[in-house]
A = this chain, B = another copy of it.
Amino acid sequence: MIFEIVKSAGIAHKSYFIGSKGAAAVIDPRRDCDIYLKLAEKNNLKIEHIFETHRNEDYTIGSLELSEIVGAEIHHSNKLNFAYGTPAKNGDKSKIGSLILEVFETPGHTDDSISIKLKDIEVSKDIYMVFTGDTLFTGEVGRCDLYGEEEIPKMAKNLYESIFQKILPLGDEVIVCPAHGSGSVCGADIREQEFTTVGYEKKTNSMLKKSRKDFVEYKINEKLYTPPYFRKMENNNVKGPKLLCKLPYLKPLSMDEVKWFLENDAQIVDVRNPTDFAGGHIPGTLNIWREGLPAFAGWFLNYEQPIIVVENKNNFMDEINRFLIRLGYDNIYGHLSGGFPVWFKGAGAVETLRTWSVHDLKKKLEEEPKDESLFLLDVRKEKDWIEGHIEGSHNVYVGLLKDHLEEVPRNKHVVVYCDAGYKASIAASLLKMNGYENATNVLGSMKAWKKAGYPVTKN
């Protein structure tokens, strides 16, 4: 049996490639599906089945794309009216060499959520693995709030049943393969463990120690952020996303062309890291560091206006292209050819962003504790702020900031911090785009603040 995990960085998405005796299946493929073709070729397998554990909300499904090339059958739940593929229901079985993949319905995260049991009948009739989609994660369970607040009690009950009645009884020894890892927004607090087992989850997953009532109660009170692009993904995935065929060529743009786009409402994203952005950037551009694109682009970019990327030396354009395409951003248009140095060598207008170390911040707070002109902005998740923050800080989650600017005073020096200084750079750049003239990014942010032993407050 061939078993490969294909991880998509940033959204912590995991798809699975499994093969046996010449045949293969892919579970939850991503849109840029060349990787599955390579795995198939390398292991001399023909991809015959594709499974979608649910419609998915955080990325564009690659089933149609992959099926177009390899001719595999696409399976997803009959509980949702997909415009393509084969509706699947409890007990449907597919064979891949000596492997049997059996669908069982596990609603709760969504109504169409399915899980898949895997047996290797050459070995035994025992269940070997279970693919749990967004139902059960390592140390966490799926979120139940995607149909709106009023639906949570129902969904949470469903989820509880799915997990306690269907997954946990499979046996302690069964290996659990979820659709997301740590960092995904599809679960509140997924652990950083590649794999787990039913038994290990029973021992260690706090959600699995709750009574049904407590479980549902907990889910009702859970506060999770939903990036605005989720809605677009759901629609795309149910209708069937546009075929990529290949990754689109990005147009190399001159400085003058970028200027034109800047003046004509294009979305210019500077993907350099926060220190690079701080040392100089094009005024009016948003800074989302490259690796942060999968998780944060969906909060800030729309699907209409062309997206232009500013990098340093354009060494990573293929990766950037993939990041955005996975989120359905087919409006990605081009990049500043030659990168940012072209801009400043060409006498383009340049702004800088002040950075502080945590020591600078500490000193400032100590020396001028009453300084009313400083506004300390914490852009982490509300939950993290509640668990501990720097005294005097005001919390607005980075993803919500552009809709909550009224909470941030325009006439003050806004000192922004987050977990490590990356999201704070998004926030600071957003403030500047919105006319804030005095903003500072705290490098290292809470991570460094704690490391330095500086005091943390709880409210």
Task: List A residues at the B interface (Cβ < 8 Å).
Answer: 1-3, 22, 37, 40-41, 44-46, 68-71, 120, 123-124, 126, 128, 139, 171-175, 191-195, 197-200, 202-204, 245-249, 251-252, 254, 272-281, 312, 314-315, 337-338, 340-342, 344-350, 352-355, 357-360, 420-421, 443-444, 447-449, 451-452
Which residues in B have their C-beta under 8 angstroms from that of A315?
315
Contact A198 B175 (CB under 8 A): no
A124 to B46, CA, bound (A): 41
Contact pick for A338, options B37, B44, B124, CB 8 Å: B44
A126 to B191, CA, bound (A): 15
Which residues in B have their C-beta under 8 angstroms from that of A342?
44
Instruction: State the Cβ distance, A347 to closest chain B Cβ, in Å.
Output: 4
A234 to B358, CA, bound (A): 48
Instruction: State the Cβ distance, A34 to closest chain B Cβ, in Å.
Output: 8
Contact B200 A444 (CB under 8 A): no
Instruction: State the Cβ distance, A428 to closest chain B Cβ, in Å.
Output: 12
Q: Taking the full assembly, how many copies of this chain does it contain?
A: 4
Given contacts A197-B175, A248-B245, contact A41 B338 (CB under 8 A): yes
Contact pick for A273, options B70, B202, B312, B359, CB 8 Å: B312
A262 to B58, CA, bound (A): 43
Which residues in B have their C-beta under 8 angstroms from that of A2?
192
Contact A355 B357 (CB under 8 A): no
Contact A173 B198 (CB under 8 A): yes
Contact B312 A252 (CB under 8 A): no
Given contacts A249-B246, A349-B359, contact A172 B172 (CB under 8 A): yes
Which residues in B have their C-beta under 8 angstroms from that of A204?
123-124, 126
Given contacts A44-B342, A173-B197, A344-B443, contact A355 B280 (CB under 8 A): yes
* 16 sampled A-B residue pairs with Cβ under 8 A: A3-B193, A40-B337, A41-B314, A46-B337, A123-B191, A123-B193, A126-B203, A171-B199, A173-B202, A272-B276, A275-B340, A280-B443, A347-B359, A347-B448, A347-B449, A350-B443
Contact A357 B346 (CB under 8 A): no
Excluding A173-B203, A272-B275, 5 further A-B contacts by CB distance (< 8 Å) are A1-B194, A123-B193, A175-B195, A245-B247, A246-B249
Contact B193 A1 (CB under 8 A): yes
Which residues in B have their C-beta under 8 angstroms from that of A280?
275, 278, 355, 357, 443
Which residues in B have their C-beta under 8 angstroms from that of A37?
249, 252
A252 to B3, CA, bound (A): 20
Contact B70 A252 (CB under 8 A): yes
**Chain B residue at smallest Cβ distance from A194:** B3
Contact pick for A249, options B69, B195, B358, CB 8 Å: B69
Contact pick for A350, options B41, B174, B279, B355, CB 8 Å: B355
Given contacts A275-B279, A279-B279, A280-B278, contact A451 B347 (CB under 8 A): yes
A68 to B204, CA, bound (A): 38
**Chain B residue at smallest Cβ distance from A248:** B245
Contact A69 B193 (CB under 8 A): no
Given contacts A41-B337, A443-B280, A451-B346, contact A174 B193 (CB under 8 A): no
Which residues in B have their C-beta under 8 angstroms from that of A248?
68-69, 245
Which residues in B have their C-beta under 8 angstroms from that of A275?
272, 276-281, 340, 344
Contact pick for A346, options B245, B273, B340, B444, CB 8 Å: B444
A203 to B126, CA, bound (A): 8
Contact A278 B352 (CB under 8 A): yes
Contact B341 A347 (CB under 8 A): no
Instruction: State the Cβ distance, A319 to closest chain B Cβ, in Å.
Output: 11
Which residues in B have their C-beta under 8 angstroms from that of A40?
252, 337
Which residues in B have their C-beta under 8 angstroms from that of A447?
345
**Chain B residue at smallest Cβ distance from A334:** B69
